[in-house]
Amino acid sequence: MPKITAITTQKRRGRYNIFIDGHYAFPVSEQSLIQFRLSKGQELTPALEQAIKAAEVTASANTLALDYLSHQSRTVHELRQHLAEAELPPDAIDAAVTRLTELHYLDDAAYARAYVNDNLLMGERGPKAVMQVLTKKGVAKDIQADVLAAVTTAQWAAVALRVAAKAAKHNQRRAYHDAVARIKLAVLQKGFNADAAAAALADLDFQPDPAGEADRLATEAAKQWRLKRKYTGYDRRQRVKQALYRKGYDLTAIDAALAELTDD
């Protein structure tokens, strides 16, 4: 019967090397050393060796899982993916997930609530975008539904307004109609519906600045006039007019600005 002839420590704290019949056999953790009461001179049956190695795999899965969770909260799906990438066997992954769920280190409902609350406080995602993120992280649809049902319309409106305000600041020097369209689009792209985007714009009270817009139009018209200098007459004016219209300026205002320009 094979015997343990030596047990030596590794450089890694809490890790040991097992030697059988004078030859290195396998490493073990301090937990396995205690659990199986391993000692020099102990006979090692095939069944015992297999049990030790299985325990080591489980311990490795638990250690890797705890390290992964120590940096930030994760969903069950994320943890399973991480352990699978480490090429751990399915049974060890299942055991780690079960253990950490029982210890409340894993809780998809709590994760979803925390994610949604953080988004409401500081984020910019609407309901659709939040659901996309949670789905990608493997949170079940019923959990998502329960968590999102607790969010009020006013809370979502505050997030949409945050997005709209940021977009308004970014587009404040654009033509009013162009800026309005871009603000609405920004809210829609964050996962809100059209009604929420319209409400956010109304709450923002984004008003036109006629004097400022007239100045910006005059500047842009002069710029486009220079850019289109290789054209002449009607063709040049139409090209400039189209460029200004695409930027959201009013046609009547564009005609007035063009009236101030003359061919070089």
> Domain 210-258 - what CATH class?
mainly alpha
What is the model's pLDDT at position 264? 62
User: Per CATH, which fold does 4-102 belong to?
Assistant: Arc Repressor Mutant, subunit A (1.10.10)
Q: Count CB neighbours of 196 within 10 A.
A: 24
Q: For 66-80, write each residue's pLDDT tens digit.
A: 999 999 999 999 999
CATH number given to 153-204: 1.10.10
Task: Judge whether 108-149 and 153-204 match in fold.
Answer: yes
Strand order in the sheet with 15-20: 4-9, 15-20, 23-29
pTM of the model: 0.77
The overall average pLDDT reported for the chain is 92
User: What percent of the chain has pLDDT above 90?
Assistant: 61
pLDDT digits (tens, 9 = 90+) for 215-230: 888 888 889 999 998 8
**Closest residue by Cα to residue 221 from 197, 193, 256, 192:** 256
Name the band, by pLDDT with cuts 50, 70 and 90, for residue 12.
confident
Ranking 83-87, 167-171, 205-209 by mean pLDDT, the lowest is 205-209
Phi, psi of 91 (to 5 degrees): -65, -35
pLDDT at residue number 147: 98
* Average confidence (pLDDT) over 188-199: 98
The closest of 185, 227, 181 to 206, measured between CA atoms, is 181
pLDDT for residue 44: 86
DSSP H or E run through 24: strand 23-29
**Distance from CA of residue 32 to its chain's centroid?**
39
Question: Burial letters for 117-127: b for 16+ Cβ neighbours within 10 Å, e otherwise?
Answer: eebbeebbbbb
* DSSP code per residue over 53-94: HHHHHHHHHHHHHHHHHHHS---HHHHHHHHHHTT--HHHHH
The arithmetic mean of pLDDT across residues 96-104, rounded, is 95
Sequence ranges of the domains in the chain: 4-102, 108-149, 153-204, 210-258
- Which carries the bigger pLDDT value, residue 125 or residue 209? 125
pLDDT of 83 above 80 = yes
At 133, the pLDDT band (50, 70, 90 cuts) reads very high
pLDDT at 124 over 70: yes
Res 172: pLDDT: 87
- pLDDT reported for residue 169: 94
pLDDT band at 250 (very low <50, low <70, confident <90, very high): confident
Report residue 82's pLDDT band, with 50, 70 and 90 as the boundaries. Answer: very high
> How far apart are alpha carbons 92 and 74 in whole angstroms?
18
- Domain covering 108-149 assigned CATH 1.10.10 in the classification: yes
Q: What CA–CA distance (Å, rounded) separates 69 from 71? A: 5
